[in-house]
Each structure stands twice: as C-alpha cells, then as structure tokens.
Amino acid sequence: MNRVQCRRRCPPPAKSAFASGRIERGRPGNACIRNKAIANIRQHRGNRDTPMQLRVFVNGEATVTSAATLAELVVQFGFAELSVATALNGDFVPRGARQSTRLAGDDKVEIVSPRQGG
Amino acid sequence: MNTALPNPAMPPSLSLYGVSVSSRLLLGTALYPSPKVMAESVKAAGASIVTVSVRRESARANSGMGFFELVRSLNVRVMPNTAGCRTPREAIATAHMARELFGTDWVKLEVIGNDDTLQPDLFGLLEAARALIGDGFKVFPYTTEDLIAAERLRDAGCEVLMPWAAPIGTGRGLANPYALRSLRTYFPDTPLIVDAGIGAPSHAAAAMEMGFDAVLLNTAVARAADPVRMASAFAAAIAAGRTAFEAGLMEMRDTAVPSTPVAGTPFFGLDQS
C-alpha cells in the first residue's frame, strides 16, 4: 500500500487506530488517514483525476464522497475502523463486510460508537 | 422450614443467562455531571452490570472509545441498550452494532411506542426479541407489567424480564404495585429486574421487598445532588429490601393487634366504674 506522508504536524492518532494496522505509531493523525485514503482510492481506480462522486447520507447528513465502499467511506471520514459500527439503509453491516459493501447514490449510512446509556 | 431459609452471610446469588451476578443494582452510565462522577458512582453502587448505548459518531471526534475505555477500567459487565429505537428493524440493527462494538451478546431491548411515556411497544418488542434471540442474543426486554406480554417474551426465549416501575426518567416509583406483585407471582422462577421510573432508594427497596431480583436505574443517581452518595444509598436500600424479602415480611392486617402481651396487663378486668 502506498503510504502518504503528512507534512503537517498532526496530533498522534487515537489508540484504537493503531490496532487497526492502518497507521503506524508516530504517523499522521486522522486528517492524514483521509488524505491517504483518497490517494489510495485514486490509485486503485487507475489514477483518474476526478474519482466518481456519490451523494450519500452519513448519520443523517447529506455528503458527497468518492468512496466506492463502506470501508472506504469509514476511512475517508476519519473514523478508526475498529471503534465504529455501521449500518446501511437500516441493516447492520458487520466490520468484515464493509470492504465488499459498495455504495450507491442516496444510500443512508449510520456510523456509531459506544456512548453512555440508561 | 428452617432449612429453606437463606443464610444471610451467603446471600443466594442472582444468575442472568447463566452468569452469576454479585450486585442486584444495575446502573446506567448516562446523565452524570462528569465521566469521573459516573465512574465513582458505579463503584459506590457496587454495580457489576452497567448499561451503555451506541450513538452516531461525529467525524474526526472518535470520542466513543474513550468512554468505553473508562467503562472497561471499572471491571464491570456492560449491557448495551437499544434506547430510542421505534421499530423492531431499528432495534435489531442497533443491537447488532452494539454487539460488534461492545463484544457482548447481552442487550437491553427497547422498542419505544410513545414519545411522552417512552412506553415499550410490546408488539414490536416481541418481534425484535424473537429475531435477536434467533441471532444468538441474550435479550433483556424492557417491558411493562403486562402478564401476557411477559408470557410471550418468555416463550420467545427471554430468560430475564425487565418490567418498568414507571415511565423512564419520571422517578415516580412503583406506579402499579398490584400488577408488579402479580407479575412476580406468575413468574416465580424468572429473574425479574425492575427497570425505569425509580426515583428514591425507598422505591427500590419496595421492589426488592416484593421479591424482584434486581433494580436497574440511572436518572435517580445521575441527577442527584451528590450522585456518588446516592449510589451508596441505593445500594444499601436494595440490599435491605432483598434481605427483608428473604427474611419473610409479615402479613398486612386491617385491624390493630397489640404487640405487648395482653396477659398480665395491670388492672385488667377490674371494674373501672
């Protein structure tokens, strides 16, 4: 995988991001993961200058993305992949299925994490 | 008869889905003034199970795991809820997301039918419970005191039931003690946890005196002026209520009966005139 070095001084990434293996200790933080992901996607698609853009809804908000899969979307949004769970159009998508889950226009994506509860 | 009496030094432990639980106070983790106060309250309560949830994560924040790390440091079992879900479909997807995040197949199943009362939608609850049990979940349904719903949930495979005391967050205590007592009587062998609507330690003690196995609460502790002390108060009340139940409460009577011996009362039988 082509590593993209960040030139900015980013804060160290979250602990859980280390576990994902996507970033190495001392490497750039979340903002950089996003840049890297976009670079990787472009490379993967044959270095097209303008990757295909889709409008999807992430946690209720419309957003335009070049992500082709749910896994790419999670990374593009700067989420540590092990610390979130996902659903697509109302159905749970397990972590292991995100890579093979392709996005379509107007998809409704939920990305959740642990929170306080009663 | 004496052999049936529990030994106070060794209180019979509560078993939920085969897991032995040391504390009969289950505590929510929401609404505290700070994460630190939440953590201290859990410790003061002596709780061994706490409820948690999943919520939309905001991009870049990645804040959820910080909370989970704190809960993990408390060395308690987590029970994720499906709070806020209004349909079985929402609740099912939420339960699955929670199972992946928290690594537990326990779920406090909520399917809410009404915004004002946060009353469980019993029909949706049953549908979701059946689906989740089929998917291998250990379902703790947040239900009402309705006997038929309880029966159906038991039939669906819920080994524990969690009837409300009163609507969530109201602090009104046992709104329908007669129905709760009936539920306890109808399901003598099913662990029953009174969940929601508890406002004061006396409410929790009353539920325990009725023979309920445990109490789940959140707001009454989290919104107290001093949550940590209130957590201790609830722990004491729940322990007292449980001991009282095991000790066997006296029968209530409609007429007075003197407690001091009548025989030998001075001046008894003398003509007062």
Report the interhelical angle of B227-247 vs B201-209 (nearest 10°).
20
Q: What is the pLDDT of residue A105?
A: 95
Q: What is the mean pLDDT of chain A?
A: 74
Cα(B212)–Cα(B242) distance, rounded to whole angstroms?
8
Interface test with A, best of B101, B107, B170 (most A CBs within 10 A): B101
Q: Average the pLDDT over A31-46 and give the result.
A: 52
Q: What is the pLDDT of residue B11?
A: 52
Between residues B86 and A22, the one the model is more confident about: B86
Query: Helix or strand or coil: residue B186?
Result: helix
To 10 degrees, the CA torsion angle through B82, B75, B72, B231?
A: 60
Cβ density class B42-63: b for 16+ within 10 Å, e for less: bebbbbbbbbbbbbebbbeebe
Could you read off the pLDDT of A58-98 as tens digits, one per residue? 999 999 999 999 999 999 998 887 889 999 999 999 999 99
Q: What is the pLDDT of residue A80?
A: 80
Residues of B with CB under 8 A from a CB of A: 28-32, 38, 51-60, 62-65, 67-69, 71, 80-81, 83, 89-90, 92-94, 96-98, 100-102, 168, 218-219
User: Which of A88, A46, A85 minimizes the C-alpha distance to A69?
Assistant: A88
Question: How many Å lie between the alpha carbon of B179 and the closest alpha carbon of chain A?
Answer: 24
Cβ contacts (< 8 Å) between B102 and chain A: which residues? 114
Contact A31 B31 (CB under 8 A): no
ipTM above 0.95, yes or no: no
Q: What is the pLDDT of residue B77?
A: 97
Indicate whether A17 pLDDT > 80.
no
| Element (DSSP H or E) covering residue B77 | strand B77-80
| Element (DSSP H or E) covering residue B246 | helix B227-247
Catalytic residue, chosen from B36, B43, B108, B138, is: B108
> For chain B, which residues score pLDDT lower than 50?
1-10
Q: In sequence order, which ranges of B8-102 are alpha helices (DSSP H)?
A: 35-45, 64-73, 88-102
Contact A85 B60 (CB under 8 A): no
- Known catalytic membership, residue B138: no
Q: What is the pLDDT of residue A79?
A: 87
